[in-house]
Amino acid sequence: MARPRSFDRDHVLHAAERQFRTSGYNGTSVDDISAATGLGRGSLYGAFDGKHGVLLEAMAGYFARLAQGPRKMLAGPDEGALERLHQYLLRAVHGVPLAADVPPASDRAGAACFAAKMALEIGASDAEVKRLANDCFSVVRAAVAECVQAAQRNGDIDPDADPDDLAYLLLTIIRGSDVVGAYGHGPDRLTSIAESAFALLPRPRHP
């Protein structure tokens, strides 16, 4: 009779995600994942079919969090949409948070977007990673675009501006903040970037 699994699958995947975000995919070994999660090599292979299987499941879990977190943060009444966009940009100063059941990232590089980091490292050669990364980006882009539309309905953003174009602009700046932060620039510089990005949003033209 097979022995029942005795580990918390979500916690293991969160710990593995933290390791991948810190060391990258190629810089993380099965032994590193074993040390980070507390699971032996045999258990990792049995439950996830190795390092690549752990990565795919960790990315799927990350996508599930993105589908809830940013959408909840950016959703709401039209009259508060512009300020929600502002706060979303400011939140990017500290990167994308890790799951609550694992220690925070030790530096800003470790708080970079997990999907973007994996897409840059191996997305060109790994179709499944590329698909998951695109899914992550798409769900956030849609949430930002919907918030832009809400601000347009409230008269806070130029109604002639393309919401998708603005969403791509803001997310490009946010992901660029990951890079600037990884270079060692601190919260003051990243906050200045966020405020400059907010100032770029086109306001309504008044006669």
Structure tokens that stand for 78 in this block: 């039209």
List Cα–Cα distances, 3 to 41, 46, 186, 193, in angstroms: 16, 12, 48, 52
Average confidence (pLDDT) over 6-33: 93
How far is 158 from 160, CA to CA, in rounded Å?
5
pLDDT band at 24 (very low <50, low <70, confident <90, very high): very high
The sign of the CA dihedral 11, 139, 195, 84 is: negative
Q: Count CB atoms within 10 A of the CB of residue 43.
A: 16
Tell whether the model's pLDDT for residue 19 goes beyond 60.
Answer: yes
Q: Which of 45, 53, 50, 38 is nearest to 8 (CA)?
A: 38
The mean pLDDT value of the chain amounts to 93
Average confidence (pLDDT) over 41-48: 88
Q: Count CB atoms within 10 A of the CB of residue 169.
A: 17
pLDDT band at 45 (very low <50, low <70, confident <90, very high): confident
More confident residue, 42 or 171: 171
How far is 155 from 206, CA to CA, in rounded Å?
11
3-state SS assignment for residue 147: helix
pLDDT one-digit tens code per residue, 84-95: 999 999 999 999
Q: Which of 159, 14, 152, 143 is nearest to 88 (CA)?
A: 143
pLDDT one-digit tens code per residue, 114-132: 999 999 999 999 999 999 9
List Cα–Cα distances, 77 to 70, 127, 154, 156, 163, in angstroms: 15, 38, 9, 13, 17
Which pLDDT belongs to residue 155? 97
Which pLDDT belongs to residue 158? 97
Which pLDDT belongs to residue 194? 97
Quick check: pTM over 0.85?
A: yes
pLDDT band at 5 (very low <50, low <70, confident <90, very high): low
Share of the chain above pLDDT 70, in %: 96
How far is 120 from 38, CA to CA, in rounded Å?
28
Which pLDDT belongs to residue 183? 94
pLDDT band at 1 (very low <50, low <70, confident <90, very high): very low
Tell whether the model's pLDDT for residue 4 goes beyond 90.
Answer: no
Task: Render 149-193 in DSSP notation, one character per residue.
Answer: HHHHHTTSS-TTS-HHHHHHHHHHHHHHHHHHHHTT--HHHHHHH
